[in-house]
Structure 1
Amino acid sequence: MNDIAPVISVLGVGRVGSVLARAAVEAGYQVNAAASGGPADLELITSIVMPGAEPMWAADAVAAADIVVLALPLHRFATLDPTWFAGKIVVDAMNYWEPIDGRQEFFERDGLSSSEIVQQHLVSAAVVKTFNHLGYHQIEEDRRPAGAPDRRALGIAGDDAEALDLVTTFVDRIGFDPVVLGSLREGRSFQPGEPVFGTPLGRAEFTALVAQPAAA
């Protein structure tokens, strides 16, 4: 790992990806950004929307990263090469929400949450679910320094202890109170339709709500 701070690579430069890349740069991280095109296609958008982020080819961005943030359109996820992600910490900031995404057969697996399916596909990576239960505008507007009385909670779920530790620090540095759940499966409580989804909450309220059984 980087001795100062992990290198962050964001895949996807839509609203969520752009906000997360900008927040990571402002928090002092080295940040790479990638999308379906090459670096030349991204130079303008990175310079304007996320200044300080380095545009790269997706495969190169993953190779350079300690933490890869997935903020892709959901239908593109299945096209990713799992071998790129071997040994990487992967933050899943995506959601499977049929009214928005349409029916995605790849994510229709009985009994599994969308992030568990991401983990199955990226079998050699350590997947951590976070950033998915707040909208991009809330991630942009609700960041606060540690100790601020109106600081918002952000849920984090994963199965790998080292990955959870690094992502917890990342979430805290960006400006949210991290609330760590015990497993990736427990990240179901962050999904669309659950009480915390789309609702900015403080740590105590958030913790109480995610303690309730998830709907699916």
Structure 2
Amino acid sequence: MTTIGIIGSGNIGSQLARAFTALGHNVVIANSRGPASLAGLVTEIADSPRAGTLTAATVAEAAAAGDLVVLTIPLGKVPDLPRDLFAGRTVIDTGNYYPQRDGQIPPLDDETTTTVEWVAEQFPGGTFVKAFTHIPAREITDHAQPAGTDGRRALTVHADDEAAKQRVAQLIDAIGFDAVDGGTLADSWRIQRDTPGYGPRFTADELRAKLAEAKRYRDM
């Protein structure tokens, strides 16, 4: 049993809270509106047959609750967080760049970096993993299947730290998906918004093929 912090209680954050508590993990979740705003989700989890628990907290408390934290907030809000928030933590970044929502971010516009690399630059001392970025939120629970199921959906995982990548890959498998090693953080552009693998359901072999098909916007 692990304690996992989640910063962001929107579609992805709330679905991951459901998936992780179903596995028996204890989740500490936070958002920008404060713990009281999470009462409904906490009650839902408490009233459902789950082995883990959900606790509402502040952002600082969620980040400090365990050494594994999910960051799932709009990309434009990332710089508002304290720079030392994730020091010594492994962080799963689920973010995607939508300029109409996030504002223009020049190094993402010209593709000199990837979304997760840009996020990691904001938080020295954290170990970042890119995951849960290319699946609609509801399908995190709706599409989950046991390991070995024929046609099981696959999700990518990207990281520079191999131990962190394997840890998150095991978590992906545990909640019901095959994990595809997509490479380093720098390789994660292959699963960013508007790439072939972004959005639809694919098996592991299909998803690897979609990653190989991806082209950078600047090369299209």
Which residue is equivalent to 2:14?
Answer: 18
Counting aligned pairs with the same residue, the percent is 33
Which residue is equivalent to 2:103?
Answer: 103
**1:86-127, CA deviations, whole angstroms, 9 ceiling, x for partnerless residues?**
01000011100235x253337646411111101111121111
Counterpart residue identity of residue 105, structure 1 = I
Contact 2:99-2:105 within 8 A present in 1 as well: no
Which residue is equivalent to 2:77?
Answer: 76
Which residue is equivalent to 1:40?
Answer: 36
> Offset at 1:150?
2.6
Contact 1:154-1:177 within 8 A present in 2 as well: yes
**1:58-92, CA deviations, whole angstroms, 9 ceiling, x for partnerless residues?**
10111112211111122221111121200100001
Contact 1:115-1:129 within 8 A present in 2 as well: yes
Distance in 2, matches of 1:105 and 1:98, equals 7
> Offset at 1:192?
0.7
Aligned residue for 1:189, secondary structure, equals helix
| Residues 58-77 of structure 1: pairs in structure 2 closer than 5 A | 58-77=59-78
Q: TM-score w.r.t. structure 2 length?
A: 0.89
> Offset at 1:182?
2.1
Which residue is equivalent to 2:50?
Answer: none
Contact 2:155-2:179 within 8 A present in 1 as well: yes
The size of the alignment, in residue pairs, is 211
Structure 2 alignment gaps of length 5 or more: 48-52
Contact 2:195-2:214 within 8 A present in 1 as well: no
Structure 1 alignment gaps of length 5 or more: none
Aligned residue for 1:193, secondary structure, equals coil
Which residue is equivalent to 1:203?
Answer: 204
Q: TM-score w.r.t. structure 1 length?
A: 0.90
Contact 2:67-2:88 within 8 A present in 1 as well: no
Would you say 1:188 and 2:189 are equivalent positions? Answer: yes
Change (3 A) 1:49 1:94: farther
Change (3 A) 1:188 1:50: farther
Counterpart residue identity of residue 29, structure 2 = A
Contact 2:74-2:102 within 8 A present in 1 as well: no
Change (3 A) 1:103 1:50: farther
Contact 1:18-1:49 within 8 A present in 2 as well: no
Which residue is equivalent to 2:58?
Answer: 57
